[in-house]
Structure 1
Amino acid sequence: MPNPKPKQTKEFKKYQYKLIGEELPPGEKLSKTPVCVKLPESVTLWLKALPVEERGKWLRGVIWEAAQKEESFKSNLSR
């Protein structure tokens, strides 16, 4: 039976989405909402084979590098 009145204290939330094994780029903070996409099965299997500590770091790094190459991302940063 689920807890009808769950309590999430500030201290609990502080550690809820702790980054594992890496830092974000300078001046950046982790978003409060995740972005989810479906990937080809071969990519999903490869990603799931990576250690958990490396998976998030690798995905964030690849997405960050790709975003920096986009002009629309660069112009959005300058606002």
Structure 2
Amino acid sequence: MSSRNDTNDNGLQGSDSYVPLTTYAIHKSYGGWPNFMHCHGLKEWDLHDQDTAKRIVEGIKQDHREEWEEERRSMRRR
């Protein structure tokens, strides 16, 4: 029995429904918010760095969506 419409490791699905990557999933993949900040050379206590981290997360989400859309286009060409 499969779960979540046969979602593969990068969160892309085999169905026509896009499931957005969550902020939680992104943070968790780095071991949490503090590690996410550290991996990007940002300081947790710096408000400017927090805003920068949020923009990075949004960029990751956008890239994930674009990757899914490209995969869908390539599947339709076959």
* Greater helix fraction, Structure 1 or Structure 2: 2
Q: Same fold (TM over 0.5)?
A: no
**Larger-Rg structure:** 1
Task: Report the TM-score, using the length of structure 2 for normalisation.
Answer: 0.34
User: What TM-score, normalized by structure 1, do the two folds share?
Assistant: 0.33
